[in-house]
Amino acid sequence: MKNYTKLVNQINRKKTFLCIGLDTDRKKMPEFLLKKEYPIFEFNKQIIDATHDLVIAYKPNIAFYESEGVEGWKSLQKTVEYLKSNYPEILIIADAKRGDIGNTSNMYAKAFFENMNFDAITVAPYMGEDSISPFLAFENKWVILLALTSNKGAFDFQLFENINSERLFEHVLSKSKTWADKNKMMYVVGATKAEMLKEIRAIIPDHFILVPGVGAQGGNLQEVAKYGMNSNCGLIVNSSRGIIYASIKEDFPEKARLKAKEIQIEMKELLNNNSVL
The footprint of a second copy (CB under 8 A) covers: 23, 61, 63-64, 66-67, 69-70, 73-74, 77, 95, 97-105, 107-108, 110-111, 115-116, 124-132, 146, 149-158, 160-163, 168, 171-172, 175, 217
In the complex, least distance from residue 128 CB atom to a second copy, rounded to whole angstroms: 2
Looking at the Cβ atoms of 33 and 127, the one nearer to a second copy is 127
- CA-wise closest residue to 264 among 251, 277, 247, 250: 277
DSSP state of 247: -
In the complex, least distance from residue 255 CB atom to a second copy, rounded to whole angstroms: 21
Count of CB atoms situated within 10 Å of the CB of 194: 22
Looking at the Cβ atoms of 5 and 151, the one nearer to a second copy is 151
- CA-wise closest residue to 180 among 234, 235, 220, 140: 140
In the complex, least distance from residue 191 CB atom to a second copy, rounded to whole angstroms: 12
Catalytic residue, chosen from 97, 177, 226, 268, is: 97
Buried b (16+ CB within 10 A) or exposed e, 106-122: bebbebbbeebebbbbb
Q: CB-based contacts of 40: which residues, under 8 Å, 6+ apart?
A: 24, 26, 29, 64, 65, 68, 71, 72, 75, 79
Looking at the Cβ atoms of 6 and 97, the one nearer to a second copy is 97
Asked if 261 is an active-site residue, the reply is: no
Looking at the Cβ atoms of 3 and 105, the one nearer to a second copy is 105
In the complex, least distance from residue 21 CB atom to a second copy, rounded to whole angstroms: 10
- Report the catalytic residues: 97
